[in-house]
């Protein structure tokens, strides 16, 4: 066969291959062809224990499914800044990565703004309807977005206040006003606590600069504090503990990382397991086994009541049966 004809055939085949790769995110089940190597953009809002564990679980799951030689991670950290998260996700979109994993609500919001075609999976996001501004959210986002939620049963978290501190009368809820999902948790837990007969005071901080003063005010006026799953609080547990522990004010935390740093107890979500579930969802999408447009948000099953032995001992807290000690 003429060499020019062979060259034309090979070039045509390569163009078809490239077109097939570009169509891999079209969203119809079974349409995404397998590739030799996938590029995954990871936008993590900030570095702290819970988000770090979710990212690790996500990467481990994809490597297990696709093989280390077939996946490349472009892992970026926004250092707690939403505008940085926006730039990271815009860069992923311009690179046309195969999938974006957005770790925490502001990262998910940034990814949503950056692209409507590249598959986006959120994780460590509490309530997708609130995060994405969806009224009457039914559990499936649709379009190019799905993911996993770290929302624990908030009624059970509220009950922990009475279980551990039956004589408490006033509960302070402390969270970052910049985090929509923190407000959602705070409002929900406030309702449950008030139904249980507690007086509830809400305290918000804008960023890490005023967290110490806000926590101090809450400790002065409340018997117990509740801090929901909140990325800013999770990054500042040492500062919180330096105020709350000397004040002898116990804290019920929304997640294990906050509890480990400054709390007495939590209804614990396994963020590594949550990340692994997100990674499994990503593999299904990339291999064409699932359609992200119809993929419902996944929740972590069977959260566990845990307590912090060190802080409980210092505060003289007696932990009832049914709680598991935090691993040292």
The tens digit of pLDDT for each residue in 260-292 reads 999 999 998 899 999 999 999 999 999 999 999
Given a cut of 80, is residue 313 above it in pLDDT?
A: yes
157-181 residue pLDDT tens: 999 999 999 999 999 999 999 888 8
> Averaged over 176-202, what is the pLDDT?
95
**How many CA atoms are closer than 13 Å to the CA of 230, on its beta-carbon side?**
31
- Spell out the SS3 assignment of 261-308: HHCCEEEECCHHHHHHHHHHHHHHHHCCCCCHHHCCCEECCCCEEEEC
Please write the tens of the pLDDT for every residue from 101-156.
999 999 999 999 999 999 999 999 989 999 999 999 999 999 999 999 998 899 99
Range of the domain at 246: 154-268+304-325
Same domain, 253 and 223: yes
Q: Are residues 102 and 51 in the same domain?
A: yes
**Residue 37 sits in the same domain as residue 93:** yes
**Same domain for 161 and 146:** no
Residues 243 and 131 occupy one common structural domain: no
Q: How far is CA 14 from CA 18, 22, 37, 121, in A?
A: 6, 12, 16, 30
In a domain, 17, yes or no: no
Q: Does the pLDDT of residue 19 top 60, yes or no?
A: no
Share of the chain above pLDDT 70, in %: 90
Section 43-49 average pLDDT: 94
- The answer to the question of residue 84 being in a domain is yes
Does residue 140 share a domain with residue 275?
yes
Burial class (CB in 10 A: 0-12, 13-18, 19+), 90: middle
One domain for residues 161 and 182? yes
Q: Which residue did the predictor score with more confidence, 16 or 112?
A: 112
Let me know if residue 212 belongs to a domain.
Answer: yes
Same domain assignment for residues 31 and 143: yes
Q: What is the Cα–Cα distance from 169 to 8, expressed in whole angstroms? A: 80
Q: Same domain, yes or no, for 177 and 205?
A: yes
What gap in Å lies between CA 229 and CA 254, rounded to an integer?
5
Domain assignment present for residue 15? The answer is: no
Q: Please check whether residue 10 lies inside any domain of the structure.
A: no
Same domain for 282 and 251, yes or no, is no
What values do phi and psi take at 277, rounded to 5?
-60, -40
User: Whole-prediction pTM value?
Assistant: 0.76
Query: Are residue 260 and residue 291 in the same domain, yes or no?
Result: no
Indicate if the pLDDT at residue 14 is higher than 80.
no
Give yes or no: residues 82 and 128 share one domain.
yes
Helices (H) and strands (E) in the chain, counts: 13, 13
Asked, for residue 21, whether it belongs to a domain, the answer is no
In a domain, 35, yes or no: yes
pLDDT score of 4 more than 50: no
Q: What is the DSSP letter of 54?
A: H
Residue 210 counted as domain residue: yes
Total domains, the chain = 2
CA–CA gap between residue 55 and residue 267 (Å, rounded): 21
The domain that contains 132 carries what CATH number?
A: 3.40.50.2300
Q: How confident is the model at residue 18 (pLDDT cuts 50, 70, 90)?
A: very low
């Amino acid at each position: 066969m003429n060499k020019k004809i062979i060259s034309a055939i090979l070039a045509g085949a390569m163009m078809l291959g490239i077109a097939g790769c570009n169509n891999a995110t079209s969203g119809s089940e079974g349409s995404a062809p397998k590739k030799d190597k996938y590029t995954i953009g990871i936008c993590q809002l900030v570095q702290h224990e819970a988000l770090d564990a979710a990212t690790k679980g996500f990467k481990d799951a994809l490597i297990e499914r696709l093989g280390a030689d077939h996946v490349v991670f472009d892992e970026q950290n926004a250092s707690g800044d939403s505008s940085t998260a926006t730039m990271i996700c815009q860069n992923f979109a311009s690179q046309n990565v195969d999938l974006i994993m957005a770790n925490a609500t502001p990262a998910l919001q940034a990814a949503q703004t950056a692209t409507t075609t590249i598959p986006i999976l959120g994780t460590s996001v509490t309530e997708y309807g609130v995060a994405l501004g969806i009224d009457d959210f039914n559990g499936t986002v649709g379009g190019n977005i799905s993911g996993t939620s770290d929302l624990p049963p908030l009624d059970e978290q509220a009950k922990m206040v009475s279980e551990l501190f039956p004589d408490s009368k006033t509960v302070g809820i402390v969270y970052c006003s910049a985090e929509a999902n923190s407000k959602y948790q705070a409002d929900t837990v406030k309702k449950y606590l008030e139904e249980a007969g507690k007086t509830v005071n809400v305290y918000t901080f804008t960023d890490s600069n005023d967290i110490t003063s806000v926590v101090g005010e809450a400790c002065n006026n409340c018997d117990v504090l509740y801090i929901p799953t909140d990325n800013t609080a999770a990054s500042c547990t040492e500062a919180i503990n330096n105020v709350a522990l000397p004040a002898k004010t116990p804290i019920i935390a929304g997640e294990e990382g906050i509890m480990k740093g400054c709390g007495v107890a939590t209804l614990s979500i396994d963020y590594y397991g949550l990340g692994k579930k997100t990674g499994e969802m990503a593999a299904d999408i990339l291999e064409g086994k699932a359609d992200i447009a119809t993929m419902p948000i996944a929740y972590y099953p069977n959260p566990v009541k845990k307590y912090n032995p060190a802080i409980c001992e210092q505060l003289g807290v007696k932990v009832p049966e049914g709680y598991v000690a935090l691993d040292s």
